Structure 1
Amino acid sequence: MRAILLEKPGPGFALRMGTLPVPEPAGGEVRIKVTAAGLNPVDYKFAEIGQEGWVLPHVLGLDIAGTIDAVGDGVAGWAQGQRVACFGNPWRRGGFAEFAIAPAQALAAIPDGLSFESAAALPTAGLTAYQIFHRKVAPRPGRTALIYGVTGGVGSFAVQLAKLAGYKVIGVAAAARSEIARHLGADHVVQPDDLQSLLRRLNEGRLADLVVDTVGASNATAALDLLAFNGALACVVDFPDFRRINWFERGVSIHEVALAAAYRAGGEAEISDLGLMLSELIALVDQGRVTPLIAEIVTFEQIPDALHRLRRRSVTPGKIVARLA
């Protein structure tokens, strides 16, 4: 089969089109003929640092959408020909290939009316946002959520899911992207300057009840000063400097979102929950209540260039999806 191969991880990683044997599903697994695959920052980050246990050359790609091609022993409820999507295991070869292996319990069915490209845009970014609002933070209708990077992959889903959860949403984005953020549902769009004053002005003197940080450690640290009493900080990229917190002063909580850890630190229940969450998210998309912000659809051969552009941030707002078949 054709695949985009990573011969050696490292800061100057290179990707090339090559061939590998078609993989065979083990017990509890299915083989997916990949139609579309989503590209994410985590792909190039893994390419830079590598992962213990990889068999080189490695195949990146965590967001997989396609058709079941073969079913392993002991798999119930799934059959050849079904349209499916999944969040793949980072320690196994992924979706930048004609065929990929996935655990059956992590699968979600794709409705006939939903494109493979839309489904492939969901797993990493969509589940990261979905986990915040449906697993990490209790719903607080009428409260305020401050979301960074609202026109990015995670942020664009977070805005929409926050609105569905009843939050008033204040999005942080560059002025040029304000219109996109408002179209996604943000009540207000602000630039990352003097946010504490802006929050109080837009929020009747209150700070944020929830902050979703998609930027990094220094930004997450600064966000601690934006939390109201009993506020929550959801960290997508890195943790804040905990020395900035005066414990037992404001009752804040910090939430780590680490989808991939389900495959290492979790068990069957946690891997099954990936499939359950993805099924629930797909249903919201199929109902028109959530829309993936797809910036660009590239070909199989264009994946290496697109991933390096994503790494350089030389991309337009939204997700990049590759059409493989």
Structure 2
Amino acid sequence: MKAFRLHAYGDIASVVTEDVPVPDTGPHEVLIRVAAASVNPLDLKLITGHAAAYFPLTFTHTLGTDLAGTVEQAGPLAAGWRPGDRVIARPAPTRGGAFAEFAAVPASHVASAPTSLPLETAAGLPTAAATAWQALFETARLERGQTVLIHAAAGGVGSFAVQLARIAGAHVIATASAANADLVRELGASRVIDYRSQDFAGDLDDVDIVLDTIGGETQQRSFSVLRPGGMLVSIVAPPDELLAAAHKVNGAFVFHQTDATRLRSISGLCDAGSLRVVTDQVFDFTDMQAALQRVASQRSRGKVLLAIG
């Protein structure tokens, strides 16, 4: 089978396509014929080694942590899966395997794909939507009626976070470019702040939760908009504990962990018509490096997808 591989930490040019054997299927695993994969900022960090402290790779490594496809084979202890089942899955980053024609994934990281979405689109769900879910509901404990500020709301995680917060009955404020403001309002934000021309830190206060998808100065300036006892949740870097204490708020870093139950809930919301995948661009499997460059540009609106099979 064809797979995109990395022989050592490097840059996008270090990613090469190779012919490799179809992976063996363990007793608790599902072998998936990959229809499509999603390209994430995490993939760039894995390639460069910037995520090595959290996700050290063993080389040679097949890249990719987001996929959708059909079950080819199920291990004897992977109960409930049959050949032909449509699924979404998220292999662990240290394992990878999504940027290939076949991937073996633990059954605990696999869920049924939404029946309402083509597999090419469903591939955008596992990492981004599940990260937004974990951050808002499991870490921040978002409740109906609360106010949440979501940074980079037109991005992969941000676009799902806006929708999930809206579904939960929260009041959603978002930062985005003026070009993406209408999209973000359509997704569920009641107010959109143009980060290029407006100062969110000067305009806001008494916010219950901030979802930080950017880090750096944006994260540091976000503490001031929170009410006492509020929470800043980051998916980029651990919040500064001293700054949090100075503002009398809480900070938390989301270390995303795959959970099939969470994936099933997300799939159900798609089939209910409540959740959509915002697609930036779909690349052919042979255009892997172009897809990575698109994510690296930080200009993508929603998900960058890779059509494989």
Q: With the length of structure 2 as denominator, give the TM-score of the two structures.
A: 0.93
Instruction: Kindly indicate whether residue 245 of structure 2 is the aligned counterpart of residue 246 of structure 1.
Output: yes
Query: Alignment partner of 1:123: what SS?
Result: coil
- Is 1:187–2:184 an aligned residue pair? no
User: Match of 1:202?
Assistant: none
Amino acid of the structure 2 residue aligned with 1:227: L
Q: How far apart in 2 are the matches of 1:28 and 1:167?
A: 39
Report the number of matched residues. 304
CA shift at 1:9, angstroms? 1.2
Q: What is the distance in 2 between the residues matched to 1:303 and 1:15?
A: 8
Residues 57 and 288 (structure 1), Cα distance of their counterparts in 2 relative to 1, 3 Å cut: same
Amino acid at match of 1:275: A
Q: 1:93 & 1:224 partners in 2: Cα distance?
A: 35
2:105 to 102, 105, 109: 102
- Deviating more after overlay: 288-297 vs 52-61: 52-61
Is contact 1:13-1:47 (8 Å) kept? no
Structural RMSD (CA): 1.8
SS in 2 for 1:229: strand
1:316 maps to 2:300: yes
Checking the alignment, whether the CA contact within 8 Å between 1:171 and 1:189 is kept in structure 2 is yes
Partner of 2:283: 298
Relative to structure 2, which stretch is displaced further, 147-156 or 7-16? 7-16
TM-superposition CA deviations, 1:52-71 (whole Å, max 9, x none): 76443311111111011112
Q: Take 1:319 and 1:227, find their aligned partners in 2: how far apart are those partners? A: 29
Cα shift at 1:196: 3.4
Instruction: Say which of 74, 77, 86 aligns to 1:74.
Output: 77
Deviation at 1:185, TM superposition (A): 1.2
Q: Output the amino acid matched with 1:57.
A: T
Q: Measure the CA separation in 2 of the matches of 1:24 and 1:180.
A: 43
Paired residues of 2:214 and 2:236 also in contact (CA < 8 A): yes
> C-alpha distance in 2, partners of 1:18/1:254?
43
Give the TM-score, by structure 1 length: 0.88
Confirm whether residue 41 of structure 1 aligns to residue 41 of structure 2: yes
**Following the alignment from structure 1 to structure 2, what is the Cα–Cα distance between the partners of residues 185 and 106?**
29
Equivalent AA in structure 1 for residue 264 of structure 2: S
Query: Within 1, Cα distance between the matches of 2:139 and 2:43?
Result: 24
CA drift at 1:256:
1.6
What residue ranges of structure 1 are gaps of 5+ in the alignment? 200-205, 263-270
Deviations along 1:3-58, one digit per CA (max 9) or x if unpaired, are 11222212465222211111111120111100010110001110110757644331
Question: How many Å separate the matches in 1 of 2:123 and 2:229?
Answer: 35
Match of residue 2 from structure 1: 2
Letter aligned with residue 187 of structure 2: L
Which structure 2 residues correspond to residues 282-293 of structure 1 after superposition, within 5 A?
282-293=267-278
- How do residues 158-307 of structure 1 correspond to structure 2 at under 5 angstroms? 158-192=161-195, 193-199=198-204, 206-246=205-245, 250=248, 252-259=249-256, 262=257, 274-307=259-292
Letter paired with 2:260: G
**Identity over aligned residues, as a percent?**
35
User: Whole-Å Cα distance in 2 between the matches of residues 232 and 302 of structure 1?
Assistant: 40
Gaps of 5+ in 2: none
| Residues in 2 aligned to 1:109 and 1:128: alpha-carbon distance in whole angstroms | 18
Q: State whether residues 117 and 323 of structure 1, in contact with CA within 8 Å, keep that contact through their aligned partners in structure 2.
A: yes
1:270-311 per-position Cα deviation (integer Å, ceiling 9, x unaligned): x5xx11101100110111101111111111001221102211
Provide the secondary structure at the position in 2 that maps to 1:297. Answer: strand
Residue 24 (structure 1) aligns with:
24
**Which position in structure 2 is the counterpart of 1:91?**
94
